[in-house]
Structure 1
Amino acid sequence: MRNMMPKTFTLLAGSALLVAGTAAHAERSDWPDNFTVGTASQGGTYFVYGSGWANFIADELGVSGGGEVTGGPTQNLALVHGGDVAFGLTTMGPAADAVSGKSPLAPGLEMDNVCAMFPMYETPFSITALESSGISSISEIPDGARIGFGPAASTSDTYFPEILETLGVEFDRRNGGWTDLGGQLQDGLLDVIAFAAGIPIPAVSQLEVQTDVNIIEFTEEEQQTVIENFPVAEFSIPASTYETLEEDARAVSMWNFAIAGCDLPEDFVYEVTKVTMENNDSMRSVHRSAATTIPENIKYNKVLPFHPGAARWYEENGYDIDPDLIK
């Protein structure tokens, strides 16, 4: 059949497509060519979550990106602030220290180029020992026990030593990546590992396959003491998290948020936030802790200013943010 569409209409349609294509290109003109997400050590939840999220964003937005091994939340704040990475993952405790100039990596420097994007999950503080050690409670940890606290300056290393000291534990402090520490525990080079990481912790799941472990819970009194002295909340590790657990285990936790350099283009951060918040099924396939990576949980950030791009998505979708908490 002969095409009866007028030439003028065809020309106008072609012009409209050209303009639309040009506009779309213009909106990305100031986007970075690639991006990096600061995570933590291999074997921990940050590395799995951050690397998987980076790949997801790269695929969805067509921008090259990936995760990078770092020392964890405290270092990620410094890397994002300095522009060494575009995005990072952090917990609220180290974030509060960073913006108030109390970061152990940069004492006196108020990190004002770090903005919140979206909530991730709660980080439980949990303790693991070999069953053969006979350690089944915090009070049974012997004086001088060799305890692995994760990478230096990580959330675990920043808070867990003080938590255990408050509970009367005397120990020999060790640092390292979670996978390495798991191997040391299995080889008898460590007595206990004090984890602060999203659950399930890959290193613990691996230990369960290879040996018998005790996942040590806090008593009610210990839990309350810690809550009164540290920026943490009550938490319960579901029994379904690990094969070892027969019932939920009492613990404490701290919220995690994804962060961005405040100077990143607003449209870029808007699209990153949009893709993340509107595809929770995909995020849960990255790591099941992303079940709480939902916009309702933005209320748990009372420390960092939200990036204007992220704030725009929340406001467009009916989630209120205090104007004073937007960069």
Structure 2
Amino acid sequence: MKFTMITGAVAIAAMTATSAFAQDEDRTGWPESFTVGTASQGGTYFAYGSGWANLVAEELGISGGGEVTGGPMQNMALVHTGDAQFGMTTMGPAAESLAGTNPIAPGLQMTNACAMFPMYQTPFSITALSSSGISSIADIPDGAKIGFGPAGSTSDTYFPRMMEELGVNFDRRNGGWSDLGGQLQDGLLDVIAFAAGVPVPAVSQLEVQTDINIIEFTEEEQAKILEAFPVSEFAIAGDTYSTLQGDARSVSMWNFAVANCDLPASFVKAAVNVVMSDNDRMVNIHKAARSTLPENWTKNTVLKWHPGAAEWFTENAGADIPADMIHGN
């Protein structure tokens, strides 16, 4: 399971007296450095994950950064094995990983990846060039070349199944979001099916460079997807992209940060505090962090909580986490 370091290590020599976690706190067992498994460049995971990795590194005075990976499925594997201390996943891939059906390691139940904090909802959306004439799912031609993101990502895992459910016949393509955006512009793809927090950097870049259509689900299509998949109703706000004239009907899946369950509770609690204690700072990293709020701890119904994270949410968000949902209990 190889991944590539993109974000430079960040560290500080000392911390201010006002920091929530002082340097003289007991740091027994804390790692000298950490990595956060994200996804491909051009996607929300990479921007969001690299941002909070740098923030935690700076605030805690530890070298750390984000890693380019294959996304949620690979992140679950990396965190489970300890090859990455932290990672990000969606609830669908998390459930499959716990059940032993993660394609990265079939049969391996990845129970050593624990819930850390709620991130945001991942909407499923479709983008095509305006010049293609594709403005609805029904317009997608038979055998269309559709980019579904990196292999094994949430998008690649669920969006092809959704398209099949809606009767779309397609030629499946994979790649990083930035790369797929370039292929769409060059006419090598007909459509890109995104599952990523909004605004998706690759879509924002596309609409600056060319005219695009952001395609919403019809009410009937949305209802069909809600019935068949572990997703929720969602609307992409009209001000998310300049291309949109109003809210766009979609479906979404919740994302959570995960931590290796063997990490010291004090370290994970400190990292959670950095992320969850100042939402404005997180929103400056990525607008999707508007949902990175303490009260959204309830959105995890799949993963056991890391003890350090559970302690933070109990003390700061009034969380009533069942004992059997905390790792080690």
3-state SS of paired residue (1:239):
coil
Evaluate the alpha carbon distance shift between residue 55 and residue 26 of structure 1 in structure 2; reply closer, same or farther with a 3 A threshold.
closer
Q: For 1:26-66, what per-residue CA distance to the aligned partner results, in whole angstroms no more than 9, with x for missing partners? A: 71131000000000000000000000000000111101100
Q: For 1:91-134, what per-residue CA distance to the aligned partner results, in whole angstroms no more than 9, with x for missing partners? A: 00000000111111111111110000100000000000000000
Evaluate the alpha carbon distance shift between residue 26 and residue 202 of structure 1 in structure 2; reply closer, same or farther with a 3 A threshold.
closer
**In the aligned structure 2, how far is the partner of 1:42 from the partner of 1:154?**
13
Cα deviation, residue 316, structure 1? 1.4
Counterpart in the other structure of 1:250: 249
**Quick check: 1:53 aligned with 2:40?**
no
Cα deviation, residue 188, structure 1? 0.2
**Matched-pair identity in %:** 70
**In the aligned structure 1, how far is the partner of 2:249 from the partner of 2:229?**
16
Name stretches of at least 5 consecutive residues in structure 1 with no aligned partner.
1-22
Alignment coverage as a number of residue pairs: 305
Name stretches of at least 5 consecutive residues in structure 2 with no aligned partner.
1-21
- Runs of 4+ off more than 6 Å: none
Return the structure number with greater helix share. 1
Larger Rg: 1
Cα deviation, residue 25, structure 1? 4.5
Cα deviation, residue 24, structure 1? 6.0
Alpha-carbon RMSD: 1.0
Counterpart in the other structure of 2:89: 90
Evaluate the alpha carbon distance shift between residue 24 and residue 69 of structure 1 in structure 2; reply closer, same or farther with a 3 A threshold.
closer
Letter in 1 for 2:325: L
TM-score (norm 2): 0.91
**In the aligned structure 2, how far is the partner of 1:52 from the partner of 1:313?**
21
Counterpart in the other structure of 1:211: 210
3-state SS of paired residue (2:39):
coil
Counterpart in the other structure of 2:323: 323
Counterpart in the other structure of 1:220: 219
Q: For 1:139-197, what per-residue CA distance to the aligned partner results, in whole angstroms no more than 9, with x for missing partners? A: 11011000000000000000000000000000000000000000000000000000000
**Higher mean C-alpha displacement, 313-322 vs 50-59:** 313-322
After TM superposition, list the pairs within 5 Å mapping 1:121-136 onto structure 2.
121-136=120-135
**In the aligned structure 1, how far is the partner of 2:23 from the partner of 2:249?**
50
After TM superposition, list the pairs within 5 Å mapping 1:167-186 onto structure 2.
167-186=166-185
**In the aligned structure 2, how far is the partner of 1:205 from the partner of 1:212?**
11
3-state SS of paired residue (2:110):
coil
State whether residues 76 and 94 of structure 2, in contact with CA within 8 Å, keep that contact through their aligned partners in structure 1: yes
Counterpart in the other structure of 1:7: none
**Quick check: 1:156 aligned with 2:155?**
yes
**Quick check: 1:280 aligned with 2:279?**
yes
Counterpart in the other structure of 1:308: 307
Counterpart in the other structure of 2:37: 38
3-state SS of paired residue (2:84):
coil
State whether residues 55 and 274 of structure 2, in contact with CA within 8 Å, keep that contact through their aligned partners in structure 1: no
State whether residues 122 and 196 of structure 2, in contact with CA within 8 Å, keep that contact through their aligned partners in structure 1: yes
